[in-house]
């Protein structure tokens, strides 16, 4: 994640996407949907630039830990009476 490294066209595109989300939430009456606009606004404000390569590295670094956590959830708990 690179902060303050966002191009102008990506900045404008995110702002338009944010406005589209808020307008769609207003017309449908689903105001909880408008909370999706908050991460878009913050990413514009902070200039966060996420590349696909960085996202893939982040996912692959955390996948084994997440999978082990899910496996631990599936293990049955034996109660002794």
pLDDT tens figures, 7-51: 888 888 888 989 999 999 899 988 888 888 888 888 888 888 766
Taking CA atoms, 62 is separated from 6, 59, 69, 72, in Å, by: 26, 5, 11, 16
The full length of the chain comes to: 81
pLDDT in the model for residue 1: 59
Place of tokens 């996912």: 59
pLDDT per position as a tens digit, 29-41: 888 888 888 888 8
**Residue with more model confidence, 25 or 62:** 25
CB 74 within 8 A of CB 28: no
pTM over 0.75: no
Return the beta strands (E) in 1-81 as ranges: none
What is the pLDDT confidence band of residue 79, given thresholds at 50, 70 and 90?
low
């Amino acid at each position: 994640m690179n902060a303050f490294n966002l191009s102008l066209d990506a900045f404008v595109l995110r702002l338009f996407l944010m406005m589209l989300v808020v307008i769609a939430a207003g017309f449908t009456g689903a105001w909880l949907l408008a909370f999706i606009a908050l991460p878009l606004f913050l990413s514009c404000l902070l200039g966060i630039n996420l590349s696909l390569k960085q996202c893939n590295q982040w996912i692959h670094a955390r996948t084994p830990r997440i999978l082990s956590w899910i496996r631990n959830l599936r293990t049955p708990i034996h109660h002794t009476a």
